[in-house]
Structure 1
């Protein structure tokens, strides 16, 4: 396909990686990781995130409060904080490293090896960023499911459920992994395009002139 060039693949990888980075950054600070609605008081909705817990009421609106102590947080939220910050950091480095490695960017124009190395480095960082986004979201999702089906809690007791940030986190993590994969695809396409034409090892077919001897019987 004509439009599927190395240059287009590199820019697609950068665009997907940047989109995943922005989504992961928003997910990190959203307070909607978990939500809870009490059957006894349906006008109140509780939301929980990595940094804040919020209460929504129809009269007042949404009110958020930061956690008072990090040590008071559950272990899954503490781990998720660290992993999400690592994800945002590595994702940002992936975008910064990939930009000078793009074709058409004047940085390192006469050093194709450095450009190739930057794209590979960006792909690795994007993979790390994606995995460190998917891991905390999956951990919180697992603990939420376990607590929701815990038979030790009374049935009338409200329980946490999935919030919108969980799905945006999965989307951002997958986008980062896909972006990193596209960087490697772009490197392979560039290596294939710069490969010298192969020399055929098969012997050349020589078209000779056939001579026929005409015999006359005397």
Structure 2
């Protein structure tokens, strides 16, 4: 139970980090050599200009279809990751020892935890894939020889590193939940054996045995 709770908390941390990653505009940053006091940042939903004197001014992207392909896919997959992670947290939470059910607890709790852990691992994949794709596209553009060296290049933003951490937390949390459910199911007695075993032996050996 303690290990399973630890996996749930780790998954919750990854889910929160994934949500913050989606909202943050610091997916890509650009620093201008001509004006070091001005920094451009770009995310999934908006682009911002940060200046020391004027502050930060942001503008939302007007059209989804006008975005690069990696940003379009990142929007869809990150939102899908939030849904998978939330459902996985709910199912894994219901599988904890503090919840009681009318049917045999071991069977239902194991199934809930296995399904919840699998959803957390899926949420990890749908987080790591778009973050890694945006990072790869940024890396390719940075080292593109066809672009003159004088042209500023986009670089990795802080949101990418937070997204990698979120995917790692989700994966570890989901795997811990799955492993704890499997080990708990193996160590615990079978509900069929505990309830029906003595009755079955009585029928074979007779009531006096």
Q: TM-score range by the shorter chain?
A: 0.7 to 0.9
Q: Retained in 2: the 8 A contact 1:87–1:130?
A: yes
Partner of 1:135: 129
Aligned pair count reads 190
Alignment partners' CA distance in 2, 1:8 and 1:107: 19
Displacement of 1:110: 3.9
Unmatched segments (≥5 aa) in structure 1: 1-6, 197-218
More helix by share: 2
Q: 137, 141, 144: which is aligned to 1:147?
A: 141
Partner of 2:85: 91
Displacement of 1:40: 1.1
SS of equivalent to 1:54: strand
SS of equivalent to 2:120: helix
Deviations along 1:53-102, whole A, 9 cap, x unmatched?
01000111111110011111000000000010011110001111111111
1:48-197 map, 5 Å: 48-107=42-101, 110-195=104-189
Q: 31, 39, 42: which is aligned to 1:37?
A: 31
Q: Retained in 2: the 8 A contact 1:100–1:108?
A: no
Larger Rg: 1
Unmatched segments (≥5 aa) in structure 2: 191-209
Displacement of 1:107: 4.5
SS of equivalent to 1:53: strand
Q: Does 1:15 align with 2:9?
A: yes
- TM-score with structure 1 setting the length: 0.84
Alignment partners' CA distance in 1, 2:97 and 2:47: 45
Displacement of 1:147: 0.1
SS of equivalent to 1:55: strand
Displacement of 1:188: 2.1
- TM-score with structure 2 setting the length: 0.88
